[in-house]
A and B are shown apart, each in its own frame.
Chain A
């Protein structure tokens, strides 16, 4: 019972966090601000997937969360490196 309310509240809080990230994503004065906003959105998406996994009591979402974590890191490093050098592989 407590857990139901806690997960619903956490869904709300994390969704608000994603809205704040979207604000920075559209507002960001520089390209790198947008990259950081996307990276944070990835982390918050992992949080939402975990909450959904507890809500429906299944571990189907775990693989999706792991994939998002890995692809998010690769994407962030790729974008930052592209902005740093203008090229991914020399």
Chain B
């Protein structure tokens, strides 16, 4: 790691810690919440935001150390922000089809209407 001025280090460190905490909150939701549809919320929203913050931090770091703007990380950010809702949608659809119910009974009611 190269030595950077203090304010740049603080910005990058803040972005990285923010991202790591959000990734952890998403995983905690995945581990703790009671049913499948609630568990889907954590990874698809919180973890994606956390990774986005970490990617911005990495982008700032490489832009500063190389002396020119590097936009590689935007690729991963865009790809993840597009694909996370798609995979969440297809997962919840297949959960409804394989008759996984939630604790409130709303999904069961909807499933009866559909099939």
Contacts and interface: CB of A to CB of B under 8 A. Distances in A.
Interface in B58-79: 58, 61-62, 65, 70, 72-73, 75-76, 79
Interface string A42-81: 0110110011011111010010011001100100110011
29 contacts: A3-B12, A4-B1, A7-B1, A17-B20, A21-B31, A30-B98, A35-B91, A36-B30, A36-B39, A40-B42, A43-B23, A43-B43, A43-B51, A44-B23, A44-B47, A46-B76, A46-B80, A50-B55, A50-B58, A50-B73, A59-B72, A73-B83, A77-B86, A80-B87, A80-B91, A80-B93, A81-B94, A84-B93, A84-B94
B93 to A, nearest CB: 7
Chain A interface residue count: which class?
35 or more
A54 B2 CA distance: 10
A14 to B, nearest CB: 5
Interface string B90-115: 11011101101000000000000000
Chain B interface residue count: which class?
35 or more
A36 B71 CA distance: 29
Contacts, number: 160
Given A33-B36, A69-B83, 20 more contacts: A3-B1, A3-B4, A7-B1, A21-B30, A24-B31, A32-B94, A36-B43, A44-B23, A47-B20, A47-B54, A50-B58, A51-B16, A54-B58, A57-B2, A59-B72, A69-B80, A76-B90, A77-B87, A83-B94, A84-B97
Interface of B: 1-2, 4, 6, 9-10, 12-14, 16-17, 19-21, 23-24, 26-28, 30-31, 36, 39-40, 42-43, 47-48, 50-51, 54-55, 57-58, 61-62, 65, 70, 72-73, 75-76, 79-80, 83, 86-87, 90-91, 93-95, 97-98, 100
